Amino acid sequence: MLDKIREECGVFGIYTKTNTNVSMSAYAALYALQHRGQESCGIAVNNSGIINYKRGMGLVNEVFKKEHLEQLNGGKIAIGHVRYSASGTAHHHNTLPLVVKHVKGPMALSYNGNLINAPELREDYENKGAIFHTMSGAEVLAYAVTEQRLVCNSIEESLEKAMYKIKGAYSLAIMSPKKLIAARDPNGIRPLCLGELPDGAGYVVASESCALNAVGASFTRDILPGEIVVISDEGINSITTHCGNKSALCVFEYIYFARPDSIIEGVSVHEARIRAGEFLADEHPVDADVVIGVPESGLDAALGYAQRSGIPYGIGLIKNRYVGRTFIQLSQETRESSVKIKLSAMKSVISGKRVVVIDDSIVRGTTMRLIIKILREAGAKEIHIRLSSPPFKNTCFFGADINSKGALIANQKTHEEIRQEIGADTLGYLSIESVGKIARSANCEFCTGCFSGKYPIEVPDELPQDKFDLKLNS
């Protein structure tokens, strides 16, 4: 309902030495990763080489009923996935983990990211006789691995070879009959970290460290850009053939995508957001009475702005946590009334005040306009919008759903036009320079492509549209 850029996925994998309740761990972990994908989810469990799975459209608590977890019970290895998707591909058959059978047996695969050359690869495979069941990049990945499986001795070697072919962002977890494999693209665009279960009981990989906590695992380290981690009965092994490239972690993971309690590349997401608020206070100071955050994504930066500026921090907007995907709008109801049900202003905090409002970003500007309207109705005297990221001006090719520049208000209008359209008194964005410093102690460089237009690897002019459904000849 609130127009936000969406991260497209969260990935989880667990390997235990003895049969423990891996499906239950995956279930708990998907709750922790739910913010990375709320459209569909799934869990695949390897029970002595037989891979069973359950996937479905909806949130974890909608898809998984007790009987599903009971049916998936047992097994030593599991992988899980939460997913968003570009509009139009929200079909059941695109849910992950992908579970297939190939020349060496069953395989399950979860991934987060976007392959730039998926269409070309797909066409190649089709021209060799491949059949595709889904529109997902995961199936292209599966073919790339399977292709190498014909000539390689192990699944990890197959993946290593396949990684020469696939271009783009990917953090993935693959489950074979006997192994759990995790890997990250050579630029490390999407996060992926490794954890350990207590008492040497096993290993866990996850898109974010918050999922490690959820299953009682301790954080070990981030998986390196380009690294392949292989977990099996023989322990844990690392293949670093593809390592050594310039890293380019998506900086928006810190600003919005990740959960504040996650730690990515050694930096607390919460702290990075606090710092973004501080930089914002330096770059765009204003004389005001209160600083408020748009819940929940703006709260941390609002605290940082308040602390640095000395303006009091207030709780000025309340979010109704019961309004979810399934809120019913009968025809006569407008978008505006929906926002009013979801967000309400705290009159006593706002009324008669000059208010600094912090949010992470503006996409189309429609929600911000309504938020300002609600605040004005609550009596705000002045409204100063501060955003903890630079303006979105460019497509993301690596898994966030900025697939058309035309939908980005900052790409279409001037700063002043935007200010007027949303109805703010002033409007300030964090600069590109500062965004690069919010996680300055991180062990990595950042991708700021959506802000700067500069990408870590060569990208096409436009995000390639899938051309499969257009092949109508027969």
Binding to its own copies (CB under 8 A): which residues in 217-276? Answer: 259-261, 263, 268, 270-271
Q: Which of 9, 41, 447, 450 is catalytic?
A: 9
- Of the candidate residues 71, 150, 462, 465, the single one contacting its own copies (CB under 8 A): 150
Reference 188, options 19, 26, 398; nearest CA is 398
Any contact of residue 314 with its own copies (CB under 8 A)?
Answer: yes
- Of the candidate residues 138, 299, 362, 410, the single one contacting its own copies (CB under 8 A): 299
| Spatial contact of 65 and 59, defined as CB atoms under 8 Å apart | no
Which span sits near its own copies by CB under 8 A: 44-52, 112-120, 193-201, 415-423?
Answer: 44-52
Rounded Cα–Cα distance for residues 73 and 27 (Å): 11
Cβ closest to its own copies, residue 9 vs residue 447: 9
- Of the candidate residues 17, 347, 376, 393, the single one contacting its own copies (CB under 8 A): 347
Contacts of 295 (CB under 8 A, 6+ apart): 317, 318, 319, 343
Binding to its own copies in span 348-367, by CB under 8 A: 348-349
Rounded Cα–Cα distance for residues 28 and 41 (Å): 12
Q: Is 228 helix (H, G, I), strand (E, B) or coil?
A: strand
Q: Is 249 helix (H, G, I), strand (E, B) or coil?
A: strand
Reference 397, options 46, 51, 159, 118; nearest CA is 118
Record the tokens describing residue 232, joined without a space.
């099996």
- Of the candidate residues 18, 87, 332, 414, the single one contacting its own copies (CB under 8 A): 332
444 backbone dihedrals φ, ψ, rounded to 5°: -155, 165
Alpha helix (H) residue ranges in 34-104: 60-63, 66-72
Cβ closest to its own copies, residue 18 vs residue 131: 131
CB of 401 to its own copies, least distance (A): 20
Cβ closest to its own copies, residue 168 vs residue 298: 298
CB of 457 to its own copies, least distance (A): 26
- Of the candidate residues 57, 86, 323, 432, the single one contacting its own copies (CB under 8 A): 323
- Of the candidate residues 7, 147, 222, 227, the single one contacting its own copies (CB under 8 A): 147
Binding to its own copies in span 443-472, by CB under 8 A: 468-472
Rounded Cα–Cα distance for residues 224 and 391 (Å): 29
CB of 201 to its own copies, least distance (A): 13
- Of the candidate residues 187, 213, 247, 448, the single one contacting its own copies (CB under 8 A): 213
Binding marks (x or -) toward its own copies, 102..131, rule CB under 8 A? xxxxx------------------xxxxxxx
Cβ closest to its own copies, residue 36 vs residue 184: 36
Q: If you write DSSP's letter for every residue of 227-261 in order, what string do you get?
A: -EEEEETTEEEEE-TT--SPP-EETHIIIIIS-TT
Q: Residues in the chain, how many?
A: 474
Any contact of residue 50 with its own copies (CB under 8 A)?
Answer: yes
The terminus-to-terminus CA distance of the chain in angstroms comes to 41
- Of the candidate residues 10, 12, 14, 27, the single one contacting its own copies (CB under 8 A): 27
9 part of the active site: yes
Any contact of residue 322 with its own copies (CB under 8 A)?
Answer: yes
Record the tokens describing residue 188, joined without a space.
């490390």
> Cα dist. 51→94, 106, 178 in Å?
18, 7, 11
Rounded Cα–Cα distance for residues 397 and 143 (Å): 21
* H or E element in which residue 302 lies: helix 299-309
Cβ closest to its own copies, residue 321 vs residue 414: 321
Q: To which residue do tokens 């459904």 refer?
A: 469
Cβ closest to its own copies, residue 344 vs residue 366: 344
Binding marks (x or -) toward its own copies, 159..178, rule CB under 8 A? -----------------xxx
Number of residues that bind its own copies (CB under 8 A): 99
Any contact of residue 441 with its own copies (CB under 8 A)?
Answer: no
| Spatial contact of 225 and 187, defined as CB atoms under 8 Å apart | yes
Rounded Cα–Cα distance for residues 175 and 14 (Å): 9
- Of the candidate residues 71, 133, 240, 246, the single one contacting its own copies (CB under 8 A): 133
Question: In the 8-state DSSP scheme, what is residue 123?
Answer: H
Rounded Cα–Cα distance for residues 12 and 33 (Å): 9
Cβ closest to its own copies, residue 155 vs residue 410: 155
Peptide bond between residue 462 and the one before it cis (omega within 30 degrees of 0):
no
Rounded Cα–Cα distance for residues 48 and 61 (Å): 27
CB of 93 to its own copies, least distance (A): 8
CB of 202 to its own copies, least distance (A): 15
Any contact of residue 57 with its own copies (CB under 8 A)?
Answer: no
Binding to its own copies in span 391-410, by CB under 8 A: none
Binding to its own copies in span 60-99, by CB under 8 A: 60-61, 64-66, 69-70, 73, 93, 99
Binding to its own copies in span 176-195, by CB under 8 A: 176-179
Rounded Cα–Cα distance for residues 385 and 357 (Å): 5
Active site residues: 9
